[in-house]
Structure 1
Amino acid sequence: MDIVAAVSRGIRMPMQLETCQLQEPKDEEVLVRLVATGICHTDMAMRDHKIYPIPHPAVFGHEGGGIIERVGRGVTTVKTGDHVVLSFGFCGHCQACGDHHPSYCSHFDDFNFHGTRGDGTTPISQHGQPVSFFQAQSSFATHTVCDERHVVLMPKEVPLDLLCPLGCAVQTGAGGVINSLGMKFGQSIAVFGTGSVGLCALMAAKMIGASEIIAIDRNSQRLALAKELGATATIDTREEPVVEAMKRLIPGGVDFTFETTANMALLRQATEVLARRGVCGFVGGIPAGTEVTLDVEWMMTGGRTFRGIILGDSDPKSFLPKMAKAIANGSFPIDKIITRYPFERINDAIADSESGRSIKAVLQFTA
């Protein structure tokens, strides 16, 4: 079938809305009409080959929300008319997948970053030539096909433009706090970076009942929003060094730090403000080969932990419906960080995301 997709043809090049051809769903796949999709900095990083050299032309997008229009013969968990959020790809049979940690799938890169379904094929083409498929969904398009494993059933009463960020930003930020760090009521956290992932982490900490939530950034408007969303204190890095400011606020250190900026100097500081037995979790599109130095004595004698996090250690089928309920009942006010754009303005939305004018840009599709 013909679809309209935002096709990326080169590094830093604007995306163009073009007609492409989409294959019919295979036995284990579903056809989804997109209603909304979020924009993530990973989309631009992949476009620009900062993480992996995914072949151009490509259709990016990995925070899709839509309605199922057709299902393959082998599909059993969803049906036509269901509202779904699209998540990352995984094989479903390696040890990590079997342990309900699919974000650490042994074949994660094959399913998400190599431009195919994971089997060397792509469902998108143009004039008979393949177009790269991204993160098991390529949601910068009016329609897509996804494996049944990679769609998560959502309540129809909650708008999909609120739910689509579950696919990455919420999964990474909130999942990082809830699943990866295992934060509990009354514990403390410092969040480095108040973009969409950092603010999702902050909202999750507030939802859990954290005693102290410190938001750290150099953007005063973002820090003001962080206070509105539940930060008990903020640190503007332009005005005061982070470590000194943290010692003033919480002399003994925090139980957790969550670093989202992929800045190695800040990542080092995120370990330096930990309390004894504290945990530093870090996320972000960090290029291969990047190194950071740590004070080993500080880490070891205090029993501190330093750990990387991919997509919040989430098992999407179980975690995302819980977060959808939190959005529905108002305890996770994601609408506060969303700016909506029509699909036709995708390049404006990308520019606003890159400049920081929008925290979480969401594209909306006309029916």
Structure 2
Amino acid sequence: MEIKSALVNGTGEDYEIETVKLSEIQDDEIRVKMVASGICHSDEVARTGELPHPLPAILGHEGAGIVEEVGSYVKNIKAGDQVVLSYKYCGHCNHCLTGKPASCNSFASLNLDGKRSEGTYYFEKPDGTKINSYMHSAFSTYSIVKQENVTVVDDDVDLRLVGPLGCGFMTGAGTVFNGLKPEAGSTIAVFGTGAVGMAALMAGKIAGCTKVIGIDIHDDRLELARELGATHVINSKTQDIEEEVNQLTGNQGINYIVDTTGVVPVIKTAISLLAKEGVIAPIAVQKGDLELNVLTELSVSNRSIIGVLMGNTIPQLTIKQLVELHRANRFPFDKLIEFYKFEDINQASQDSASGKTVKPVLIIDEEYKPKAAQA
């Protein structure tokens, strides 16, 4: 079938909306009509080549849509279901079998190889040129996914809002809930208050941290961070961050830190602000290598650095949990979202990269209406 997709044809080039061909689904696959997709920093680094990916490609991995067709092997998912899409995992390696699919042995190949495991492609141009996939290639009117990509959500959920739960918001919240696991009454700081950082701040509040500190260089972001649950904010450009943290913690340092900046000097500063036995999770795409004196910066104070991918989540559980927290007004991620038309993808991408918009969401199906609105 012919569909519309936003392609990146060369490294650093703008998106181009083109008519492409979508293959037939296989027995273990699902065809989804996309309603909306968030734009994530991981899309930008793939477009610019900072994260090498074969081109031409259809990017996008924060998609939400409606199931149109399922293969004969697919269970518990049917045509008409509303779904949020996330990363793919094999389901049978040791990590998947112990409930840690983000550590799947095949994570990279399943999500970033650009094609099916047997070598066939989901998309091609009218002239036969093969098009590489990226995660679930959500920047498209239709896509083909596996059962592992899919989380079914209730019919009253607005699909225009929930796509970012499949990556950015899930990563930020999951890093706190599943990676750091802060105790009630502990302190947490988040460096960088973009989409992932804001989700981490909200999760810190939900987890019962008594001091939730947002750190950024933009006052408007910090003001929003306060609205979403930060108890304190620090503008590290205009304030002495060490002095502020010492005052807030009684010179004890911060128990838990999430870094979403990927800036090496910022990460070094964050480590220096950890309390004894403090833990930091740097989760951004980092530029440059981080050099440490392990003895003086970590061991002497029993500090730890942990890696957390995709929030160490099980998407089919976490996405539903975040939807319920949103219903309860405890995870108001909708305040971070700004909608863009699909054809304005390049503007949305620029606004995401510049920080003008915290979380741009492309409306791919403008005729979609939530079932609650139809009633």
| TM interval, short-chain normalised | over 0.9
Find the counterpart in structure 1 of residue 43 from structure 2.
Answer: 43
The AA in structure 2 aligned to 1:144 is S
Find the counterpart in structure 1 of residue 350 from structure 2.
Answer: 351
Does the 8 Å CA contact 1:220/1:236 hold for their aligned counterparts?
yes
- Separation in structure 1 between the aligned mates of residue 118 and residue 326 of structure 2, nearest angstrom: 35
Q: Indicate the percent of aligned positions where both proteins have the same amino acid.
A: 37
Q: What TM-score, normalized to structure 1?
A: 0.96
- Separation in structure 2 between the aligned mates of residue 298 and residue 355 of structure 1, nearest angstrom: 33
- Separation in structure 2 between the aligned mates of residue 103 and residue 117 of structure 1, nearest angstrom: 19
Q: What TM-score, normalized to structure 2?
A: 0.94
> 1:63 offset after TM fit, Å?
0.2
Map 1:157-176 → 2, pairs under 5 A: 157-176=156-175
Map 1:70-219 → 2, pairs under 5 A: 70-127=69-126, 128-135=128-135, 137-219=136-218
Does the 8 Å CA contact 2:12/2:49 hold for their aligned counterparts?
no
Q: SS of the residue aligned with 2:361?
A: strand
- Separation in structure 1 between the aligned mates of residue 71 and residue 184 of structure 2, nearest angstrom: 44
- Separation in structure 1 between the aligned mates of residue 195 and residue 119 of structure 2, nearest angstrom: 32
> 1:364 offset after TM fit, Å?
0.7
The AA in structure 2 aligned to 1:319 is T
Find the counterpart in structure 2 of residue 293 from structure 1.
Answer: 292
The AA in structure 1 aligned to 2:200 is A
Find the counterpart in structure 2 of residue 329 from structure 1.
Answer: 328
- Separation in structure 2 between the aligned mates of residue 61 and residue 165 of structure 1, nearest angstrom: 10
The AA in structure 1 aligned to 2:279 is V
Find the counterpart in structure 1 of residue 243 from structure 2.
Answer: 244
> 1:43 offset after TM fit, Å?
0.3
- Separation in structure 1 between the aligned mates of residue 102 and residue 117 of structure 2, nearest angstrom: 15
| Mean Cα deviation higher: 239-248 or 329-338 | 239-248
Q: How many residues align?
A: 364
Find the counterpart in structure 2 of residue 14 from structure 1.
Answer: 14
Does the 8 Å CA contact 2:264/2:286 hold for their aligned counterparts?
no
Q: SS of the residue aligned with 1:131?
A: strand
Q: SS of the residue aligned with 2:275?
A: strand
Q: Which runs of 5+ in 1 are unaligned?
A: none
Q: SS of the residue aligned with 2:64?
A: strand
> 1:281 offset after TM fit, Å?
0.9
Does the 8 Å CA contact 1:29/1:75 hold for their aligned counterparts?
yes
- Separation in structure 2 between the aligned mates of residue 247 and residue 301 of structure 1, nearest angstrom: 19
Find the counterpart in structure 2 of residue 60 from structure 1.
Answer: 59
Instruction: Describe the shift of the 1:241–1:117 C-alpha distance in structure 2 as closer, same or farther (beyond 3 A).
Output: farther
Find the counterpart in structure 2 of residue 27 from structure 1.
Answer: 27
> 1:317 offset after TM fit, Å?
1.5
Query: Once the two structures are superposed, what CA deviation does each residue of 1:6-45 show, in whole Å capped at 9, x if it has no partner?
Result: 0111122111111111112111111101111000011010
Q: Which runs of 5+ in 2 are unaligned?
A: 368-375
- Separation in structure 2 between the aligned mates of residue 241 and residue 55 of structure 1, nearest angstrom: 44
> 1:359 offset after TM fit, Å?
0.3
Does the 8 Å CA contact 2:87/2:148 hold for their aligned counterparts?
no
Does the 8 Å CA contact 1:51/1:286 hold for their aligned counterparts?
no
> 1:114 offset after TM fit, Å?
2.4
Instruction: Please report the RMSD computed on the Cα atoms of aligned residues, expressed in angstroms.
Output: 1.4
Find the counterpart in structure 1 of residue 370 from structure 2.
Answer: none
Please tell me whether residue 284 in structure 1 is matched to residue 284 in structure 2.
Answer: yes
